[in-house]
């Protein structure tokens, strides 16, 4: 008898496995935040995850430390024993499941985990919202299938853009709003590449304006990117309010939607993603929605 047959799977176990799959892998801290949120739950969380790993329902991998001291986080993906369960849950064959799993193997992993941080905060915030009725997330691996392509006539080149995610907020009145997400780890230092990305989004927004949420590492990095975005906007004579910037440390389930953590380029330096009425805050990129008051510094 294998380990999977020696204990009964709970609804929470199935939800844990499902999250590990739909997130394309996540850390144990993400699972603790989502499924073991009460104080003192760290030990029960680690114990249960260890059992799921032992039963090969989850697969674990210890990442190297980013600082060179100690070890990194435990990265968890779907184990081989979980595939029949997931195939049944998702209504697909195991071969389809294996193909999908191979397509979205994340790399680099720390960038992927930072994207998971953002996505989890968003998911939890939307669940708690009284106005937002749903959120749909499109991951990077799926956006890669149909990247944004724009022609830069001044540079005589085609700019290809692949965001780290796209999500849609659904409201009770039937309206919805899309946002692109860029997780900036501060590793791209080539000014030409940075300007090209920002320029590409500005050009794309001329035909389909969608807010781009940039989440970066530090305030200094944020200010640098804001400066670059403003400069590209001036060169193109384009509306820069599509760019919303914040830092990773500012994003929590409590702040991501309703706290003034977002710096809108060419707009308020402190803006909520959703307004006082709970609806997405309007800029020219969200002009069909109700404008909420920005909070200026």
Per DSSP, the three-state class of 217 is coil
User: What pLDDT does residue 282 have?
Assistant: 57
User: Residue 28: is it exposed, middle or buried by C-beta count within 10 angstroms (0-12/13-18/19+)?
Assistant: buried
Domains of the chain, first to last: 3-105 (1.10.10.10), 110-286 (no CATH)
Parallel, antiparallel or unpaired: strands 71-78 and 26-27: antiparallel
Parallel, antiparallel or unpaired: strands 71-78 and 58-64: antiparallel
Query: What are the mean pLDDT values of the chain's consecutive 10-residue runs (297 residues total)?
Result: 66 94 94 96 96 95 82 89 81 66 65 97 96 94 94 89 96 92 92 95 94 97 98 96 98 96 95 70 50 32
User: What pLDDT does residue 8 have?
Assistant: 84
Is the Cβ–Cβ distance between 161 and 196 less than 8 Å?
no
Is the Cβ–Cβ distance between 234 and 201 less than 8 Å?
no
- State both tokens at 171: 């409201």
User: What pLDDT does residue 84 have?
Assistant: 83
Is the Cβ–Cβ distance between 200 and 192 less than 8 Å?
no
Q: Estimate to the nearest angstrom the gap between the alpha carbon of 72 and the chain centroid.
A: 21
The per-residue pLDDT for range 146-187, each reduced to its tens digit, is 999 999 988 889 999 999 999 999 998 889 999 999 999 998
User: Residue 111: is it exposed, middle or buried by C-beta count within 10 angstroms (0-12/13-18/19+)?
Assistant: middle
Record the pTM.
0.88
User: What pLDDT does residue 295 have?
Assistant: 36
- State both tokens at 138: 């499109």
Across-strand partners of 153? none
CA atoms of 134 and 208, how far apart (whole Å)? 23
For residues 32, 38, 40, 44, the Cα torsion angle rounded to the nearest 10 degrees is -50
Is the Cβ–Cβ distance between 223 and 246 less than 8 Å?
no
Give all strands of the β-sheet with 165-171 in edge-to-edge order.
132-139, 165-171, 176-183, 212-216, 243-247, 263-264
CA atoms of 140 and 172, how far apart (whole Å)? 27
């Amino acid at each position: 008898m294998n380990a999977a047959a020696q204990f009964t799977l709970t609804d929470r176990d199935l939800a844990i496995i499902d999250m590990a799959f739909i997130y394309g892998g996540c850390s144990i801290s993400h699972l603790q935040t989502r499924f073991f949120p009460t104080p003192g739950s760290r030990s029960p969380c680690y114990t249960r995850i260890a059992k799921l790993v032992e039963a090969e329902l989850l697969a674990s991998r210890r990442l190297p430390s980013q600082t060179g001291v100690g070890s990194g986080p435990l990265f968890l993906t779907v184990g081989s024993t979980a595939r029949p369960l997931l195939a049944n849950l998702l209504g697909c064959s195991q071969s389809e499941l294996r193909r999908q799993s191979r397509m979205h193997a994340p790399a680099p992993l720390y960038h992927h985990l930072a994207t998971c941080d953002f996505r989890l905060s968003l998911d939890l915030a939307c669940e708690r919202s009284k106005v937002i009725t749903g959120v749909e997330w499109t991951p990077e691996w799926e956006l890669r299938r149909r990247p944004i392509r724009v022609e830069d006539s001044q540079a005589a080149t085609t700019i290809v853009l692949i965001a780290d995610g796209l999500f849609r907020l659904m409201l009770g009145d039937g309206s919805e709003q899309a946002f692109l997400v860029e997780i900036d780890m501060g590793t791209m230092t080539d000014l030409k590449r940075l300007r090209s990305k920002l320029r590409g989004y500005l050009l794309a927004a001329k035909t389909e304006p969608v807010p781009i949420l940039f989440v970066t590492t530090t305030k200094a990095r944020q200010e640098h990117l804001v400066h670059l975005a403003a400069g590209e906007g001036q060169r193109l004579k384009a509306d820069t309010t599509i760019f919303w910037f914040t830092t990773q440390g500012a994003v929590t389930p409590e702040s991501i939607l309703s706290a003034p953590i977002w710096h809108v380029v060419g707009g308020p330096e402190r803006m909520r993603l959703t307004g006082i009425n709970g609806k997405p805050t309007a800029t020219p990129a969200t002009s069909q929605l109700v404008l909420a008051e920005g909070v200026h510094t």
